[in-house]
Chain A
Amino acid sequence: MAKRVGIEVSLAIAEAAKLANVDVVSAYPITPQTHIVEHLAGLVADGELDAAFIPVESEHSAMSACLGASAVGARTFTASAGQGLELMHEVLYVASAMRLPMVMAVANRALSAPINIWGDHSDAMAVRDTGWIQIFAENGQQVVDNVLCSFRIAEDHRVLLPVMIHLDGFHLTHVIEPIYMPEQDEVDKFLPPPQYPLPLHPDKPLTMGAFGPPYIYTEMKKAQEANLTAAKEVILQCWQEFGSIFGRDYSPVEGYHSEQTKVLLLTMGSFSETAMEAIDKMRDDGKDVGLIRLRLWRPFPFAEIRQAVKNAEVLIVLDRAISFGGPGGPVCSEIRSALYNEDTRPKVIGFVGGLGGRDISVSGFEEIITRGIEIARTGSEQEFEMYGVRE
């Protein structure tokens, strides 16, 4: 039986990677991700984890080392955040296009300038189109569970794609939470050793990441797109099996008092927990409001989102990132686009808030919902509104 322990979420992630028996970790420290890789380096140095820890001079090199490790069939883990993730950027595309199954925890952090080490989703949204499977976690338990699930998903021969697990910098990375840490034998049963079908090996030479001229590039991209889209079925199966073994269930879109509810708020990541408090309070006051939490970001769960909001009249989407000069936050923009051709659909109202580590309190979410309902009725001169910004 798994023990529930009080542990800093960053350390729990490192312990989860240890439970997954990773072979290679290559990473470069950056706030607020540092404790994750620092703890992993400690586990390797102390002989508690039989893995190669490759220290490198930058995140670009960290991701490149991970490519090589994954290509020989090693179970590979890394973590980054903010500017570090951006420095990895071009290599992220290579990892997914070359179908290399690795797992990365991203301690979501705002992007410079100005320098800001605190949390928002700017870094996550900047790597949206890199072809990785992307999961958002709300609390430490979800991160730990999804580290285990992510290796299983990534290494499935129907998938063979890298996975990013997004967790909010500081709000999650630096808090101590009670977390059920699964037992080693349970994890070993759930997560058999990786078997990459075409690993680099001197006995069977092959070329990875070769030239793709105009006559074949389109076919390569179509194959990649079809592969990532089809990964959703495997993700659903994995979560279902995880739930049946470990008793904690996951789905791409989760509702909270959202059935037959007229006004819905949609959030991602740790803010969802505060938003639930606000929903409780408003429902106690007799208001018909509910919450949708988007957990799976790539592949985008179109069917689940459409189903979850089909009876709503107003859908208020909170983004923790901004697409400058565009339609607001990327999440709101994608949700609106996913619903546009539906016969019945809610009005979609976009807010951007919680940037660079600024909190949104329970009363803040109440204000966002109240203002969203008002905009749905009266309209707004702006494409979206920034919550809490001072004039």
Chain B
Amino acid sequence: MKLKTWLSLATISVFFVGNTAFANEAEETVTPDEELYDTSILIEETELALTEDQMERALLLDEFANDRLSEIEATIEEGNLEEAEQLIEQYEEYLERLESELEESEEEQEASEEEANEEDDEVERVELPESDDNDGNEQGEDSDEENQEESAEDQDKSEEELRESAKQRTIKLQALLEREDLPEEAKAGIAKALENQKRAEENYLRAKAEKAVSDEDEDEQEQEKEEEEERELQEEREEEAAEQVEEENDKEAEAVVKAEQKQNKAEKKQQKAAEKAEKAERKAQEKLEKAEEKANKAKEKAQEKQEKAEEEAEKKQAKKAQENRQKQEKGNGKPNHN
């Protein structure tokens, strides 16, 4: 039982020792008296050169400034004051670079925020006319906003880290200043570094405060803008509704007019048909009358013809009779005077 406990304890301790060894390896620094010091500075600078993000660059510079301060402390401990003075100068350079990197980072963030706002405005302008089909765009917008929030959170976190780091450095510099064994030149250098550090911190805080104020103003402006947009949207909706009602009324009136027109047309058609029928009837009547007239005329003509024929026949008969009488008279020798 005891052996088992010892074995597990040993395994756990080996595991912890292994991990700590790796962590220590990573935290170790190369001191100026070491052969690879120049190489280590070159590696730092190369890492910085290959990093594009301004805040990441600021964090790297902050880390390197911390390393230089640790080196200053170490060289002072070793009594190598000449080297310490050189390191203090380098440390100041790092602080200046850090300050300018932070300023650029702020500017970059502001520029990206402005760009994002402009893009939002543009998207809204494009989206307004067809507000029904914008689900996909809204999702994209949401993810953009989330990304912006995330990057703002990262920025805040990094700034907090930088502030904390600067505080620690200030404490270390003050501790160095209080040392009595330092020559005046070294102390003057440290005092200057401390002053620069404080100035950088003040500048940073002032910029932050200004930014907070401008952010508040921007928020207010944005709120006003949103309210105005909401009002405009409401007005547009009301206008659209009124137009729709008007359109519907117009359509109804148009339908009534059309129905009336249709009815009129139908009536006219009916009238025309009646007229046509009347005309046809009249024509038929006329035709009938004409036919009757014709028949009568034909009848009359036939009658006349018959009468004429009868007359002629009578005349012929009379003529024949006269001729017969004349013949008889001739035969009798007496003229017949009838």
Do A and B make up one complex? no
- Where the two chains meet, the residues of A that have a C-beta atom closer than 8 Å to any C-beta of B are none
